[in-house]
Structure 1
Amino acid sequence: MRVLILLPPSEGKTAPASGPSLDLGSLLDAERLTSPRREVMSALTESSRRPDGPSILGLGPRSAELVEANLLLETSPCAPAYQLFTGVLYEAAGLDSIAKNTAGRKALEHHCVIFSGLWGILSPTDEVPDHRLSMGTSLPGPGRLPSFWKPHLAASLTDMAAQGLVVDCRSADYAAAWKPSVRDGVEIMTVRAVRIADDGSRKVISHMAKQARGLLTGELLRAVAGRTLPPEARADDVAALAARLSGVDDVEVSEADRQGRRVLTLVTR
């Protein structure tokens, strides 16, 4: 039994200036996932060479040059995913600082999974190159990536999450690639964030939601590493930890829906 945190990747990345080249055999659950990873890599490379490559990848004119990274996947320097991804969620989580000691690295490796349009899933410590491919993309060949990855990821993630608590911080496209089931003895908690406006209404703001999920992720991993969060932690334990986050005024935990999922709402102002 364990807590398993599910994260999206980050559009914001810091490409490493040096590092080892890609080793697919070292990535999370390589035995199951190397073949589909190669299939997506090949399709991505071919799409990135096409004149309409930026359009296929959903990139605007100002971002078109970013597709060049996809042509160098085999040779570009790699960095751990927790260093490569540098968007709002990852900045708030502070995974780099968590990874500086043995207990923190173990928490990252055993209690956190990053979803990826290109790699399917990653451990935060997996070393990968800079790339551009969102899960919402439809690639010639594999097709819609959530549909492509769903059958490949099911066995890996069901094993990882079995009899534990899943804290789901993913956005919709990434959530579509795998939906945990309570039939496997999993308790499921989806994290959302809302801001209370001056008129009392509630608004979901993407930037703030990413930051709140990042803060929660970092606190959970530090609690796991420091053994202040028990291995058998349940949804109420996560809610209690979330209530202590800076900038969070209140937390709400819904009743389980028909699929056994509960929603943790972080309320800010």
Structure 2
Amino acid sequence: MLVLLPPSEGKAASGDGGPVALDGLSLAGLTAARGEVLEALVSLCRGDEDTAAEVLGLSPGLRGEIARNAGLLSAGVRPAGEVYTGVLFDNLSLATLDEAAYGRAERSLLVFSGLWGAVRIADRIPPYRCSMGVKLPGPGALGAYWRSAMASVLPEVADGLVLDLRSSAYAAAWKPAGEVASRTATVRVLQERNGKRTVVSHFNKATKGRLVRDLLVAGAEPKTPADLMDALLELGHRVELAAQGTARKPWQLDVVVTEVH
């Protein structure tokens, strides 16, 4: 099983060793592209601060991220699983997994990134600020840039069930196609309240983090989207089939959570 995750805006304050070694990261086919984006981001952030803030979409309170990006070539690194600290990763809680479950996480989790394309949780990277929606001088719109770079790399590692939990911006960087799409499942999280269902961002991220954690802890090895649905039901999640996949379109599963008072 390959689990595709979005990154988080929240990241660890600093690394504890470095600098980043691009040729030591997973998915070696992305090395050249990573180097180009990294150089473009550092160059942008070493230039005019107002321009960098506009390109990166930073509010005045986040101007400090520009200086951090400017120093990425020599910045300290840490495992990607420690760098990302948002709601999804808080609920996934990688640090509290036992050795066996963490090993499964290292093999199955792939975190998408505007800067790195995609990394595994053991890849050592520095904290950074660069979302997939950014249009960098040189590489251009990162969603389109990474889509081209990943076209030949991702299918090589997507050799079983693909659980795609990415947000729309990161999903744009690689879309499962053909036979891969037929064994890909996406998840929509719905909050049920007073008989009505709505999509709520916080519930979405937290629930996806808990889903992945439960699968890792249980040692579940679903081979197909149907197997995945069965596994989640056995783990106590309320799951419904929203759309069965085809040769061109992934399966869609709805996970329903009830508001807790």
TM-score (norm: length of structure 1): 0.88
Q: Alpha-carbon deviations, 1:184-225, whole Å to 9, x = none?
A: 475010011011122x2211111110001111111222233x
Say if 1:45 and 1:71, in contact at 8 Å, map to a contact too: yes
Does structure 1 residue 253 correspond to structure 2 residue 202? no
Question: 1:102-181 maps to which residues of 2 (within 5 A)?
Answer: 103-162=100-159, 164-181=160-177
TM-superposed deviation, 1:180: 1.0
Aligned AA for 1:134?
Answer: S
Counterpart residue number, 1:211: 206
Instruction: Sort the Cα spacing of 1:132 and 1:262 in 2 relative to 1 into closer, same or farther, 3 A.
Output: same
Aligned AA for 1:152?
Answer: A
Counterpart residue number, 1:28: 26
**Which of 213, 217, 235 in structure 1 is aligned with 2:225?**
235
Question: 1:45-56 maps to which residues of 2 (within 5 A)?
Answer: 45-49=42-46, 50=48, 51-56=50-55
Does structure 1 residue 10 correspond to structure 2 residue 5? no
Instruction: Sort the Cα spacing of 1:245 and 1:93 in 2 relative to 1 into closer, same or farther, 3 A.
Output: farther
Q: CA RMSD in A?
A: 1.8
Q: Alpha-carbon deviations, 1:145-185, whole Å to 9, x = none?
A: 010001211222101112x1110000001001001124247
Instruction: Sort the Cα spacing of 1:66 and 1:244 in 2 relative to 1 into closer, same or farther, 3 A.
Output: farther
Sequence identity (%): 36
Secondary structure at the aligned position of 1:44 is classed as: helix
Distance in 2 between residues matched to 1:16 and 1:52, nearest whole Å: 24
Aligned AA for 2:74?
Answer: T
Say if 1:182 and 1:188, in contact at 8 Å, map to a contact too: no
Say if 1:161 and 1:186, in contact at 8 Å, map to a contact too: no
TM-score (norm: length of structure 2): 0.91
Does structure 1 residue 221 correspond to structure 2 residue 216? yes
Does structure 1 residue 40 correspond to structure 2 residue 40? no
Distance in 2 between residues matched to 1:65 and 1:86, nearest whole Å: 18
Aligned AA for 2:27?
Answer: D
Structure 1 residue runs of 4+, over 4 Å off?
A: none
Aligned AA for 1:267?
Answer: V
Q: Alpha-carbon deviations, 1:90-140, whole Å to 9, x = none?
A: 011112223x52x33431232111100000010011010010000011111
Q: Alpha-carbon deviations, 1:60-95, whole Å to 9, x = none?
A: 111111121111112111110111111000011112
Runs of at least 5 residues in structure 2 that lack an aligned partner in the other structure: none
Runs of at least 5 residues in structure 1 that lack an aligned partner in the other structure: none
Q: Alpha-carbon deviations, 1:227-262, whole Å to 9, x = none?
A: xx23x522233223333557x5x2111232552311
